[in-house]
Amino acid sequence: MAQEELDLDTPPQALTRPEAEDQARVLRRTLQRHNYLYYVEAQPEISDGEYDTLFRRLQALEGTYPELVTPDSPTQRVGAEPRDDLPTIPHTAPMLSLDSTKEEEDLVRFDERVRKAVGDPVRYLVEPKLDGASVELVYEEGVLVRAVTRGNGQEGEGVTENVRTISSVPLRLRDEVRSAPQFLAIRGEVLMYLSAFRALNERLVEEGSDPFANPRNASAGALRQLDPRITAQRPLDLLAFDILSVVGVEFNEDREVVEALRDWGLKVPERVALLDDVDAILDYHHAIFSDRDDLDYEIDGIVIKLNDLAAREGMGTTSRHPRWALAFKFEPRKEVTRIQRIAVSVGRTGVVTPVALLLPAEVGGVTVSRASLHNRQEVERKDVREGDLVRIQRAGDVIPQVLERVAEEGKPRGPAFQMPVECPACGTCLVQRGPFTVCVNQLGCPAQLKGRIIHFGSRSALDIEGLGEETAALFVQEGLVKELADLFDLQAADIMDLPGFAEKSAQNLVQGIQSRKKVELRRFLYGLGIPEVGEAVARDLASHFGDLEAIRNAERGTLETVAGIGPKMSEVIHGFFHEEQNARAIDAVLGKGLELSPPPSSGGDGTALAGKKVVFTGGMEGLSRLEAKKLVEAAGGKAVSSVSSSTDFVVAGEDAGSKLAKARELGVNILTEAEFLELLKGLQQEDEGGEGAVG
């Protein structure tokens, strides 16, 4: 029914319930059709404004008559309330992984095995191998009732409310071309298109947040959010490629499955082909690989599947892989990749840094998607521009950097990069200080304030659990925190309705902040974010002076009596404490009742690994796990069981497995058992030396 045939003028309250029910039913079908045309077919028939008018009308009807809300209503995409955890749900059928190879010889052997098992002729359905997050969608009577991550293949996490927010996922299957089955379980891939991924990363960089390593990580992270409202803000898409189980419909070929999925309103992969032999598959593989950089989504190879479904049943599966399918993968991009955009990041000190957003590439076993270009002079010296092919490396095997531009003969280049005139976060005119570009609006710039909050609550500072990037950004965005002191005024009621929070998590964060009102002096000093003052200098200052006021009132010459502090550093520290706005901000924080405890006056303070998280994996030669854990805890650290971006060290013993691989992927510092003991010994010696200066 067209928009003009609907009575949109009569207030919902003036409609009888049957009239409202009829109109809601028509609106749901109309909006579902336009969603399909826009998100799947990319052929919209109405403007965004016209769509919004219909959507708001349906919202008004459902608001007046709440009993009219159905699970498949387009209004249910906006995101439900946060959950405490994600339930574990078994799959309808096993979601097996694919056997994979990069070698042509393995492809030939696969083809020979298939032909030996089923005989000639053989046809394969071949499609790009999507690099996203696998998910099972279950429809009953055509309505989406369940969505589950792949998990271990037998069961996964229930993410139904999150998947509902993905606009390309039909909440009700289309039945115009073919009837929806009584029961349908499909397998699809949740992904983020590269154009959307670049825009998301660019925004994160400009806000001073860490961008995602690759679209797969961004998709998987969004899919597993406890708050569906956060998922709804991420530009996710879903492509369906297999049926796990179906009741009421039979298929003979995989080609028919793809057509049915498309008819039911689901997006399917592009460039699906039916091929007859290895030579045709190799040609397809080469063509897709050649076009890889021009596609708007990440792929890491192609998938080859026997087209005959009955023959598949005959071949069966192993415990992990179907025998009738193979992933023929690409070599990962290594060392050479392309700059897609150059964004600018505003740090907590106000320095505006150009950042190259790259096509994700593997360097030293880690996926790299961004690299700092340091400052405007460095960009000019290397003459790198958006669209350039560049050679990258991980400096010190940790920090990604652009080494040089790789010339491409005959390829036109984009314009030379220019730093912005105004701060992208607050609009203040930027100033040049040597090679650096700086926003001088220290207290009024939201990017700088967000960075200061994150630093203030970091593990080596006040160690406030839950005060990460997204939370800090929300506090600044909502105006709840305008300076550091405001953190201590937060109440659970202020934040429980924010994305990512519920009553319990809001209470936990507020309690966590209040519990840090008694803090070690060295941690407080580090948390202030004083230029040139890292953990070691903060510890040395606290040990030497023993009191914050003594440090604030110290002259430059007095500061230089501290080991390691020279004229330049003393000038910066002295200037920080005597800058009026900084002094006022410190007084405001102290005015919230903070108690700064002085450093201990004797050895053995147990702070060598203070605030550090250590993971042990594999077999240790000279230590049991319990002994290793006690060593870490005695040094002020924490032995944890899983590897994440917040892990400081992974100690890898013999036969280390997945934890070591994940540490490499995340760029976490990896130590042998001997290196760990040597590090611990060195840090303890540093602590003992610093304590000798007290008094």
The per-residue pLDDT for range 417-428, each reduced to its tens digit, is 999 999 988 888
220 touches 69 (CB < 8 A)? no
In 3D space, the residue among 340, 336, 238, 333 whose CA is nearest the CA of residue 289 turns out to be 333
Domains of the chain from N-terminus onward:
3-76 (1.10.287.610), 100-329 (3.30.470.30), 336-438 (2.40.50.140), 465-597 (1.10.150.20), 613-691 (3.40.50.10190)
Say how far residue 668 (Cα) sits from the centre of its chain: 17
Highest mean pLDDT among 226-235, 425-434, 586-595, 646-655: 586-595
DSSP code per residue over 144-160? EEEEEE-TTSSEEEB-H
Q: Which residues are catalytic?
A: 129
On whether the CB atoms of residues 189 and 168 are closer than 8 A, the answer is: no
User: Which pLDDT band, with edges at 50, 70 and 90, does 695 fall under?
Assistant: very low
Which pLDDT band, with edges at 50, 70 and 90, does 686 fall under? low
Comparing 1 with 112, the larger pLDDT belongs to 112
Q: For all residues of the chain together, what is the average pLDDT?
A: 85
What spatial distance separates the first Cα and last Cα of the chain, rounded to whole Å? 84
Mean pLDDT for 541-569 is 89
Angle, to 10 degrees, between the axis of helix 278-291 and the axis of helix 104-118? 140
Relative to beta strand 595-597, strand 518-520 is parallel
- At 108, the pLDDT band (50, 70, 90 cuts) reads very high
Most confident of 209-218, 241-250, 367-376: 241-250
Q: Is residue 694 pLDDT above 70, yes or no?
A: no
Burial (Cβ within 10 Å: 0-12, 13-18, ≥19) of residue 636: middle
Nearest to 63 by CA among 72, 54, 75, 53: 75
Q: What is the pLDDT of residue 443?
A: 63
Query: Strand, helix or coil at 173?
Result: coil
Residue 678 CA: distances (Å) to CA of 396, 423, 681: 20, 45, 5
Selection from 357, 359, 215, 384 nearest residue 292 by Cα: 359
Name the E strands within 556-653: 595-597, 613-617, 638-640, 649-652
Query: What per-residue confidence (pLDDT) applies to 8?
Result: 80
Selection from 503, 23, 411, 502 nearest residue 227 by Cα: 502
pTM (two decimals): 0.57
